Structure 1
Amino acid sequence: MSKAFIASVIQDSLECTGVAANRCATDLIEAIVREMKKEGGFTLPSFGTFTVRKTKARKALNPRTGEAVKVKAGKTVRFKASPNLKKAV
């Protein structure tokens, strides 16, 4: 799924211009990102839950050279599908 797909669905649903639908899709995505930064997660009922998790610093191997590389601590986003989504798919 892409932002263009979301904008297309909004445009068809609301019968609005492509510019307005694209702006709406952009605002929707930005609102979801803000909520995840603020609360650490986001839930769409009947779809699933996105959660932000912290990752620890670790050592990894470069697959080409086999050389050890340090990977910094960071954050990642996880998704857990709702039971309704699992049944639908």
Structure 2
Amino acid sequence: MSKAFISQVIQDSASLTGTAANRAATDLITAIVKELKKTGKFTLPSFGTFSVRKTKARKGLNPRTGEPIKVKAGKTVRFKASPTLKKAV
């Protein structure tokens, strides 16, 4: 799914112009990111839950050279599908 797809769905369902639908899609994505930064969790009922998880520092391998490298600790976003979505798919 892309931002263009989201914009098209908003445009078709709300009878908006392309510019207004694109702005609405941008605002939606921005709101989701803000909520993830603020609380670390975002739930769309009947769809699923996005959550932020911390990752530990670890050792990895450079795929080109096979040389060991250090991967820094960081954060990643995880998604867990709701039972409703699982049944629908």
Identify the TM-score tier after normalising by the shorter chain.
over 0.9
Residue in 2 aligned with 1:47? Answer: 47
Q: In the TM superposition, what whole-angstrom CA distance separates every residue of 1:48-80 from its partner, at most 9, and x where no partner exists?
A: 000000001111011221111011110000000
Distance in 1, Cα, partners of 2:49 & 2:82: 7
- Normalised by the length of structure 2, the TM-score is 0.98
1:67 aligned residue:
67
Are residue 28 (structure 1) and residue 44 (structure 2) matched? no
Task: Indicate the SS of the match to 1:16.
Answer: coil
Q: Which moved more, 1:58-67 or 1:36-45?
A: 58-67
Q: TM-score, normalised by structure 1?
A: 0.98
The alignment of Structure 1 onto Structure 2 pairs a total of residues equal to: 89
> 5+ residue gaps in structure 2?
none
Q: Superposition RMSD on alpha carbons, in Å?
A: 0.5
